[in-house]
Chains A and B, each alone.
Chain A
Amino acid sequence: RKEVEQDPGPFNVPEGATVAFNCTYSNSASQSFFWYRQDCRKEPKLLMSVYSSGNEDGRFTAQLNRASQYISLLIRDSKLSDSATYLCVKDAGNMLTFGGGTRLMVKP
C-alpha cells in the first residue's frame, strides 16, 4: 500500500461547482499535512497546510481525520483557474511524501 493515496481523477466540473478530494495515508507518525497544486510543467505550489483538524482559506477548506487517516480538500465556487493537479502531502520531519495527485478540470 502506498503511504499517500489519491484518486487520480480527472474530476471534470463546471464553473461554480463545489468539488471535494480525499486522500488517505498510512503511518500515522506524521505531524502535518499539506495540499499543493501543480500546473502542467510547473513546480508544486503550497495551497494549504493542515496541522490539526483542518483549516479554511477563502474558497478552500482542508480537513484532517487522524482516526480514519484521511485528509480532504473542498473547493467551493470553482474557477477556471483552479484547473490543476492537487497533491496531498504527508510531512514526517522535513521528509515530504507525495500522493499521486488528483487532476481537476474546471469547464466553462
Chain B
Amino acid sequence: DTEVTQTPKHLVMGMTNKKSLKCEQHMGHRAMYWYKQKAKKPPELMFVYSYEKLSINESVPSRFSPECPNSSLLNLHLHALQPEDSALYLCASSHPGQTSEQYFGPGTRLTVT
C-alpha cells in the first residue's frame, strides 16, 4: 500500500475561520511533510516531521501550525489566513534518511475568501 490520503479534498474558508487539514499514511514511514503549491509553480516545502518531531520549518508564518499526533497522522491547523494563502496543500511521507523517495497525497485545494 503506497497511499497517502488527505482530507478534505477542497476547502473554502474565510480569513477569520479556523480549520485543519489532515493527512494519513500506513506505509510505516517515519518522515512526513507539508508542501504548498501555487498554480503553475513547483511544490514548496513548509514543514518536515521526523519520528513525530518537527525537524524543519521553512520560515512559515505562524498562522500555519503543524501537528503530528502519531507516526501515521499529520495535521495542518489554519487560522487567520490571507487570500494569498490559497493554494494546493500537499502532504508527503518517506522513510527518514539521506536517500528516500517521497510519496504524495492528492492534496487539499484551499481557497481563502
B107 contacts partner chain A, Cβ-Cβ < 8 Å: yes
Chain A residues, Cβ within 8 Å of B59 = none
B102 contacts partner chain A, Cβ-Cβ < 8 Å: yes
Q: Are B102 and A96 in contact (CB under 8 A)?
A: yes
Q: Are A32 and B102 in contact (CB under 8 A)?
A: no
A103 to B88, CA, bound (A): 19
Check A49/B31 contact, CB under 8 A, given A43-B90, A95-B56. Answer: no
Q: A50-93: which residues lie under 8 A (CB-CB) from chain B?
A: 51, 87, 91, 93
Q: Are B104 and A96 in contact (CB under 8 A)?
A: no
Identify the interface centre among B42, B45, B88: most chain A CB within 10 Å of its CB: B42
Contact residues on B (Cβ < 8 Å of other chain), bracket:
20 to 34
Chain A residues, Cβ within 8 Å of B98 = 31-32, 91, 93-94
Of the candidates A44, A91, A95, A101, the one whose C-beta lies within 8 Å of that of B99 is: A91
A98 to B97, CA, bound (A): 18
Closest 7 CB pairs of A and B: A98-B42, A43-B104, A32-B99, A31-B98, A43-B106, A31-B99, A44-B104
Q: Which residues of B contact A (CB under 8 A)?
A: 31, 41-45, 48, 50, 56, 88, 90, 94, 96-107, 109
- A selection of 13 A-B contacts at a CB cut-off of 8 Å is A32-B98, A41-B109, A42-B107, A43-B90, A43-B104, A43-B105, A44-B90, A49-B99, A87-B42, A94-B94, A95-B56, A98-B42, A98-B43
